[in-house]
Chains A and B, each alone.
Chain A
């Protein structure tokens, strides 16, 4: 039997925490609940977890700060934020603090469960070694998929979680065409808020990092009406 996925639920509303625990356990996950930010970081430091479901309004240490601290130690660890703050600005702040996904309260149970499943699936896929070594070299640049660090045209920098996921998918299938739909499914998990244009925007950002002339890309190529293709070697 496969090992149960372990999820840390950080929620100070006892009712909500209990309800989440009940449902997630029914789905076959192993659940630990804590009610404040400080315990969340302690618990995460002391045990292995596959996902954290994080409320924003938490006693002692707020959810945003918890997310930032998790990101400071591990830039890939999956975080699902759950908050009553529902404006676009709140969502943006949450995602910038390091959340992989942001769900507003009140939420629909099936949607929550789907998102949890989606994040875990992407995480599994990301963890699979798609390459012989974690540091992938091309041209005179490199990307370290385990740390998210990369050397681009402008020097060393850190890729965001989603940028790293897009690059990993493209590099893992180098030479092949990857469709926008596949990118959306694997990287965004079909978040209802994302459109196929989002992929194009991300690719534009990645080209700025890795292309000498972003207007005339040599590595991340657009294949008309099909998607994108990664080419490691530049034509002589």
Chain B
């Protein structure tokens, strides 16, 4: 049964169709040379005025040209169909991973609320639970922002409201919200803001980018791994580096991670939640700031460096 399914795999069907067409074309050309000449001789005896040599070459070329057009047509249909099939697959993966990712913070919130309902908790414990729940709601709202942003028909038409922002102060503000998560993951953050200055950016959009990059660094690093955030000025750009010592990204995945819904599939990532949206959205946002978002990694297990370059 599996063999049969492999046989009907789109690529095999496509190759089969191509072989069939080329075969037909070869047979047609062969037939043309073999039989048509004989027919021609026969017909020439009856109606010699019907044939002249130049005309037959036109027919051969026309036939070949038509065959080629059909080949090209099949190829185009195949390419688009394949693209669509890939999108459908990604979309269904996305729905399952996003629902999974939404459920985790939700489960945590429900657990703490029910704990407060059913158990006797002290004021201190209650405050701690509320803090935890607030962190979970932040996570939920970040994810929902990502989904909404990515579902916009044309991310290029993103409406950004640029305003002067002190990147150093802004980064500190963003990091405050992560204080608790850094503590829980025993993550030491080294902040190097030497090159930070005032840039014209959309605060809300940039916060999403920073949240995605910091969130990823936490998610894809083991407990206790540090995070370095560095701001420096390079020529006309202000570069913000996010350097983690996490699971890293293989060379082959380094370009693909920015694609919508794409998630690197390997043994390290298979049990880590993610919707495949964060980096896609972040790159779109940075592009709309006329900047760049790049990734560097020495490979699996060797950490990752994301660099946001924004024009000064």
Contact = CB atoms under 8 A, between A and B. Distances in A.
B271 interface: yes
Given A15-B108, A19-B108, A35-B223, A58 B271 contact: yes
Contacts, number: 75
Interface stretch (A104-112, A136-144, A182-190): A104-112
Contact of A109 (B115, B185, B222, B270): B115
Contact of B115 (A22, A59, A84): A22
Nearest to A87: B96
A20 B271 CA distance: 20
Interface in A80-103: 84-85
B112 A105 contact: no
B304 to A, nearest CB: 16
Interface string B37-53: 00000000000000000
Given A23-B119, A109-B118, A16 B271 contact: no
Contact of B100 (A16, A57, A62): A57
A77 to B, nearest CB: 22
Contact of B104 (A20, A58, A105): A105
Contact of B107 (A26, A58, A84, A85): A84
A165 B60 CA distance: 79
A220 to B, nearest CB: 36
A205 B107 CA distance: 37
A37 B270 CA distance: 13
A124 to B, nearest CB: 24
Contacts of A23: 111, 115, 119
A5 interface: no
Nearest to A62: B271
A106 B118 contact: no
Contact of A16 (B104, B114, B268): B104
Contacts of A57: 100, 271-273
B18 interface: no
A213 interface: no
Nearest to B105: A15
B103 interface: yes
A116 to B, nearest CB: 14
A16 B107 contact: yes
A13 interface: yes
Contacts of A63: 271
B293 to A, nearest CB: 26
A72 B271 CA distance: 22
B271 A15 contact: no
Contacts of A110: 114, 118
Nearest to A64: B271
A14 B110 contact: no
Given A106-B110, A109-B111, A26 B103 contact: no
Contacts of A13: 104, 107-108
A48 interface: no
A212 interface: no
Nearest to B121: A22
A90 to B, nearest CB: 10
B222 to A, nearest CB: 8
Contacts of A56: 271
A107 B110 contact: yes
A18 interface: yes
Given A15-B132, A57-B100, A106 B106 contact: yes
A85 B100 contact: yes
A105 B109 CA distance: 11
A14 B184 contact: yes
Nearest to A27: B119
Contact of A106 (B103, B117, B119, B268): B103
Interface string B180-204: 0000110000000000000000000
A16 B108 contact: yes
A60 B272 CA distance: 10
B269 to A, nearest CB: 9
List the 10 closest pairs (A to B, CB-CB), nearest first: A105-B107, A106-B107, A109-B114, A84-B103, A15-B108, A19-B111, A106-B110, A14-B184, A84-B100, A57-B271
12 contacts: A13-B104, A15-B184, A19-B112, A19-B129, A22-B125, A23-B111, A23-B115, A37-B271, A57-B100, A57-B271, A58-B271, A84-B107
Interface of B: 99-100, 103-112, 114-115, 117-119, 125, 129, 132, 135-136, 184-185, 222-223, 268, 270-273
